[in-house]
Amino acid sequence: MCSSMEKKVMIELDGLKKYFPITKGLIKRKTTYVKAVDDISLKIHEGEIVGLVGESGSGKTTLARVILRLTKKTDGKIIVDGVDLDKATREDMHRMRSEVAVVFQDPASNLNPRQTVEGSIMRPMIIHGVPKDEAKKKAREVLEMVKMDLRYLDSYPHQLSGGQLQRIAIARALALNPKIMILDEPTSALDVSVQAQILNLLLDLQEQLGLTYLVITHDLNVIKYISDKIAVMYLGRLVEYGPTEEIAEHARHPYTRGLLNAAPILDPKLRGRAKEIMKGDPGSLINIGSGCRFADRCKYATEECKNTMPENVLVGEDHQVACFHPLSAE
């Protein structure tokens, strides 16, 4: 396997920002901003599975929406498969919409209740001008790829279980032969046994098709199981990024360590170990100070942390952390 240095970069973010203005009065005067995504720089290489984690309100879904151009960015660059989206032609954008697929958090709400499974899978292909006969053939092919019987082609969403609906959503995402898939909480609404089935399916598809995944979740156990790298967000900022095993075993940012300590321990042999649980709730994204956004919850915070934003620094191979006082790797 080639290193990430040799692989093609599929998604590159450079100084990406998304600020939402807050207005007051009849004339809608801007008073301040919600800095939902604030100066994010990140590279995801071909064939990688990158897990994006953080508590609710950290900016994960907003980041995904900005990458997908469902939400307009405030500043920064987005480069997808070598194309700078600021300079993209109409042909570039048409190609990107087929190369980048998305699986949303709640598949039931994103499938037309009046449309059969076959119709739902065919819809993106028809929109992109694929002939109907070819779309029908492809719908059968991708349904088999997600390990569902062809008899479900005539079913409606209300007739299917949560796990089946998620498989349909994945099948629809595969219909246009994407290179990149963005999955927003792909297992959050499923019970544990079905979660494992969906994660194994995603791993199988990634291996078969060479897909690149950005997986958004609050569940670190999911990310540790499926991902090659972990990106940790806190209140709009990227605070740690690196190889999954390195971060799972040697998290250097206090926030990442807190998330790991808060995650349920699945191995019975490891339960009962003393863990330091992170205190407090995430702060507000409104009127944020100039310092580290985790400073108010961090027991290691100094005046420097409260007044100055830390830059990302390398603490290991491909492992970076934004912290003035990174924790020991032990």
* Per-residue pLDDT at 4: 56
Q: Is the pLDDT of residue 1 over 80?
A: no
Q: Is the pLDDT of residue 150 over 60?
A: yes
Tell me the residue range of the domain where 225 lies.
1-81+202-266+275-291+311-330
Asked if residue 98 belongs to a domain, the reply is no
Helix (H), strand (E) at residue 199: helix 192-209
Q: Which residue would you say has higher pLDDT here, 1 or 322?
A: 322
* Per-residue pLDDT at 268: 57
Asked if residue 5 belongs to a domain, the reply is yes
Over residues 119-135, the pLDDT tens digits come to: 999 999 999 999 999 99
* Per-residue pLDDT at 330: 63
Asked if residue 192 belongs to a domain, the reply is no
* Per-residue pLDDT at 2: 43
- Whole-number Å distance between alpha carbons of 100 and 213: 10
Asked if residue 90 belongs to a domain, the reply is no
Asked if residue 165 belongs to a domain, the reply is no
Asked if residue 121 belongs to a domain, the reply is no
CATH number of domain containing 236: 3.40.50.300
pLDDT mean over 154-167 = 95
Mean pLDDT for all residues in the chain: 90
Q: Is the pLDDT of residue 70 over 60?
A: yes
Q: How many domains does the chain have?
A: 1
Q: Is the pLDDT of residue 26 over 90?
A: no
Asked if residue 65 belongs to a domain, the reply is yes
Asked if residue 194 belongs to a domain, the reply is no
| Contacts within 8 Å (CB) and 24+ apart, 309-317 | 309/237, 312/41, 312/238, 312/241, 315/252, 316/242, 316/246, 316/250, 317/243
Phi-psi region of 318 (alpha: psi -120 to 50; beta: other; left: phi over 0): left
Q: What is the pTM of this model?
A: 0.91
